[in-house]
A and B are shown apart, each in its own frame.
Chain A
Amino acid sequence: MNSPVYFITSLITMSCINSAYTQIDSFHSTTQVIQHMTDAVETYDSFQYSTQMRFKESGGDTFTIRNFIINYKSNSANGLYGYDWKISEEVDSGYTFAIMALPEALFGIFSGNKGIGYQHLPKTLDLSSYTEYLRGYLFLSEVITTFNVVSPGDIMLRDSGEYYYLTRQMNKLATRRLTIRKDSLICLFSL
């Protein structure tokens, strides 16, 4: 139960999703920005995108990078999550390792030996598990939830012209911030 202290900056860019989006005006409230983010994610029944995690050891000055491909598909039959999901990562030697959660099982798929391991889908979310940590940082709905559960007064909104910056002080040591490109995310829904 001892969670590490995180300092995370989540940079969201959705610039190329669809050129048909309508640009919104600036100077929206925190509530409006978060609501539009939530609505934007809920609009899709499925999606695929890539993420890059950058790591830096305490006191170090170099980054380690890990890249992931994220797949999501809404599925009410998936009793635990409400959606099917897959996180794929290219690991050493160019092989791919994927974690995939379907209603019937949780799978681990490794291209190196062409092996698929599986176990029953857990009945609960295990907060201390690698899978849940990863999912919490990489899935858009999880990222947004961090901001969606607190009152707007607990979030700082900054408008830089091209981006919105949402910042939430998680505790005395940790801050979480999202950078949201205005011309894509919010245009999924009109005010």
Chain B
Amino acid sequence: MMDEEFDFAQISEINYYYDEHFSQLPDTTFSIDHYISLGYSIHYNEETESTKQIEINKISPESREFLLNYPFVTEKGDTTTISSYKAGYIVLDFWYSSCVPCLKALPEINQLAEDHADDGLVVLGINCFDKGIRTNLATKLRAKNITIPLLFGSRDLLESLRINSFPSYIIITQDRKAEFIQGYTEDMKKSIEQIFEK
């Protein structure tokens, strides 16, 4: 149902126009019932193949090794790897600065890290888009009491892990196996809670 031929590379200008009705929306704007009352019919679309592939995405042993030894840059400019963290469980939160759901989830992620710090859980914020502005980003997040370590990488890591939607999470277990969880923060939090309830 989307326009696959749309070439965004050719955009040269976008104009935004406002009028006196800028902040006024008719009640029917977001009403499916309204459309149906106008004679529209509704049908369910199967999930696309690409979506299915993403949902069943598994981390290969090669990608896992690549991830564990990937040279991340810290907010202070140091280099580190996931394998250097000795925590029992590690959650990787893949986010970027203009991802609204990612930013909304960060306080919950931060709380999760605090709640289970004594259980040996470490949560790392992984950002592969904003390395060049990491200092400013870190300052803004610290001001909002987000205290989890922030690690910055590049897109080659995302390509290796086949991550192209956000937020995404990877849980690394005690034996350093990696479980990929895509989507709602609640799903990841449930997995973590189940781990520590055992």
Interface residues of A in 26-76 (CB under 8 A from B): 44, 46-58, 63-64, 71, 73
Nearest-neighbor residue (CB-CB) of B139 within chain A:
A151
Instruction: Tell me whether B14 and A11 are in contact (CB under 8 A).
Output: yes
Contact with A along B14-57 (1 / 0, CB 8 A): 11111111111100011010011011111111110001001000
Partner of B8, one of A4, A50, A109: A4
Contact A124 B183 (CB under 8 A): yes
* B17 A46 Cβ-Cβ under 8 A: no
Chain B residues with Cβ below 8 Å from A5 are 9
A151 to B136, CA, bound (A): 6
A156 near B: Cβ within 8 Å?
no
Q: Are A123 and B98 in contact (CB under 8 A)?
A: no
Given A7-B12, A9-B14, A17 and B44 contact (CB-CB distance below 8 Å): no
Residue A84 is within 8 A (CB to CB) of chain B in the complex: yes
Q: Is the interface of A mostly helix, strand, loop or mixed?
A: mixed
B32 CB contact (under 8 Å) in A116, A134, A145: A116
Tell whether, in the assembled complex, residue B16 and residue A51 are in contact, meaning their CB atoms are under 8 Å apart. Answer: yes
A95 contacts chain B at the CB level, 8 A cutoff: no
Q: How far is the CB of A147 from chain B (nearest CB, A)?
A: 10
Say which size band chain A's interface belongs to: 35 or more
Q: Is the CB of B10 within 8 A of A71?
A: no
Residues of A within 8 A of B196 (CB): none
Contacts of A128 in B (CB 8 A): 164
* Interface of B (DSSP majority class): mixed
Within 8 Å of chain B (Cβ to Cβ): is A80?
Answer: yes
- The answer to whether A120 touches B47 (Cβ under 8 A) is yes
- Quick check: A130 and B6 within 8 Å, CB to CB? yes
Of B64-72, B75-83, B99-107, B170-178, the segment with at least 4 beta carbons within 8 Å of chain A is B99-107
Set of chain B residues within 8 Å of A126, measured between Cβ atoms: 54, 164-165
Contact of A130 with B29 in the complex, beta carbons under 8 Å: no
B148 at the interface (CB under 8 A from A): no
Q: Are A49 and B12 in contact (CB under 8 A)?
A: no
Q: How far is the CB of B94 from chain A (nearest CB, A)?
A: 10
Contact A124 B168 (CB under 8 A): yes
The verdict on A13 contacting B165 (CB below 8 Å), with A6-B9, A117-B45 known, is no
Asked if B143 CB lies within 8 Å of chain A CBs, one says: no
Enumerate chain B residues within 8 angstroms of A120, measured Cβ to Cβ.
47
How near does chain A come to B93, taking the closest CB pair, in angstroms?
12
Residue of A nearest to B94 (CB): A124
Contacts of A114 in B (CB 8 A): 38-41
Residues of B116-141 at the interface with A, using a CB-CB cut-off of 8 Å, are 130, 133, 135-137, 140
Task: Point out residues on A near B: beta carbons under 8 Å.
Answer: 1, 4-18, 44, 46-58, 63-64, 71, 73, 79-82, 84, 86, 99-100, 102, 107-109, 114-120, 122-131, 133-134, 136-138, 140-142, 145-146, 149-151, 154, 184
Interface positions of B (Cβ within 8 A of A): 1-4, 6-25, 29-30, 32, 35-36, 38-47, 51, 54, 97-102, 104, 130, 133, 135-137, 140, 155, 158-159, 164-168, 182-184, 187
23 A-B Cβ contacts within 8 A? A4-B9, A8-B11, A8-B12, A9-B14, A11-B14, A11-B15, A17-B20, A17-B22, A46-B24, A47-B22, A52-B14, A58-B10, A81-B100, A81-B101, A117-B1, A117-B43, A119-B47, A125-B99, A129-B2, A138-B14, A149-B133, A151-B133, A151-B136
